Amino acid sequence: AHAAAAAAAAAARSVRVDCPVSAGAEVRPVGSDIGEGAELVPAGAVIGPAEVGLAAFAGGRPLSVHAQPTVAILSSGDELIDPLALPDSAGDSGAGGSPTGSGAAARIYDSNRPALLAAAAAEGGVGIDFGIARDDAASLAAKLDEALLRGCDALVCTGGVSMGERDLLGALLAARGTLHFDRVVMKPGKPLTFATVPRPSAASRAVGASSRPLLVFGLPGNPVSALVCFSLTVAPALRRMCGRPHPLPRRVPVVSASPLRLDPERPEYHRATLHVTKSGLVATSTGRQISSRLLSCAGASALLELPRGSTTLPSGARLSALLAPSLSGASVHTADPRDELSSQVDPLETGPQPLEASWPTYSPRSPAVLAPPPRLWLACSHSAAASEGAALSAWLDANGWV
């Protein structure tokens, strides 16, 4: 009986192998994940979830990164109303009206500043709200001095750069710094202005502030012109300051989904959506392209590069387009794999098949109802999972989770 019990105990501690097993099978040798001397994160790489996980995997070594550039965002114009400063009861006034009880006429809500603050954040910058400057030289000069003393890397001002008697920014920049250009042959954005202004003495600068000249971008006051000029000039500058190795907008070949009329005087950056098809990217115009119609930017993911000319490009014309991630929250659309037609129909042959979208109707001063971001608690069961937890946390943060 004792011998039988011992045999049963031995059998319980044994494993029966039913197939041949080679030495080292299913064993990961040292260095199989990361070899000795391997480069984990190259210079110029954008730090994302995988890079955060690699840093944790290597023992939590700190990564040297570029500081986020600080960008002062300023609007100018006596006609502007700050929509963020109005009480909720001001919603009774129309979009082109004035705050309740002010008695002012022909005034408009300032959409440029909120839009450009969002655009600066999308490009890795830290936007600072500089409010609204009035149409006088002293107000603009005070805002410029504030940007210099606070050590901002760039100042982006909308309005005040055209040819009117109240367009004073160009003269101020010429007097205080170097005005590199104040007119560009492009549509929209002809009054685009760029200047550099030297910093004050080290004794009067903010602690740790840069000694490099302040970059000043003067953008047109029309909302579409401001966003397009930001995408083409300010966004690449911010990417360069963030240390990205390829700061310029990416150019891709596209095919137009409809006829496009050319401008006889200026090359045009036409707002469009992009759809992936079996034959390449199809570009669909966002409609009327007047510089005051901000709806032409909503949903746009690219700027079509249209040459100047007196003709109309036919549907199916092959063009180049610049991807514009800071123009709106849209991206390049792909076909829905659940749609049987998406894998059988070529939009180049039958016409583009844009994705349907439900857009909210416009109501002046209507509050946006934003759902709170989903929350998730992360817990690692053992120390080896720390790198996975760090990577997952970074991914969740990038995708709207808390």
166-191: average pLDDT:
94
Residue 316 has pLDDT above 50, yes or no: yes
Q: Where are the domains of the chain?
A: 70-97+106-241, 251-350, 374-402
The one-letter code for the residue type at 88 is D
- Distance CA(249)–CA(319), nearest Å, equals 16
What are the pLDDT digits (tens) for 224-236? 999 999 999 999 9
CATH node for 251-350: 2.40.340.10
Residues 149/197, Cβ–Cβ less than 8 Å = no
**Cα angle 206-145-115, degrees, rounded to a multiple of 5:** 95
Please report the pLDDT score of residue 88 as a whole number. Answer: 58
Please report the pLDDT score of residue 106 as a whole number. Answer: 63
- Distance CA(280)–CA(113), nearest Å, equals 36
Q: Which residues contact 149 (CB under 8 A, 6 or more apart)?
A: 200, 204, 205, 206
Please report the pLDDT score of residue 363 as a whole number. Answer: 34
- The token pair at 77 is 């114009």
- Distance CA(318)–CA(311), nearest Å, equals 15
Does the 70-97+106-241 domain belong in CATH 3.30.450.40?
no
Burial class (CB in 10 A: 0-12, 13-18, 19+), 280: middle
16-30, 73-87, 141-155, 360-374, range with the lowest pLDDT? 360-374
17-26, 47-56, 67-76, 267-276, range with the lowest pLDDT? 17-26
What are the pLDDT digits (tens) for 346-393? 444 434 333 333 333 333 333 333 344 444 444 444 444 455 555 555
- The token pair at 213 is 């000249």
Please report the pLDDT score of residue 220 as a whole number. Answer: 96
- The token pair at 51 is 């890079």
The one-letter code for the residue type at 244 is R
Q: Tell me, what DSSP letter sits at residue 363?
A: -
70-97+106-241 and 251-350: identical CATH topology? no
pTM of structure? 0.75
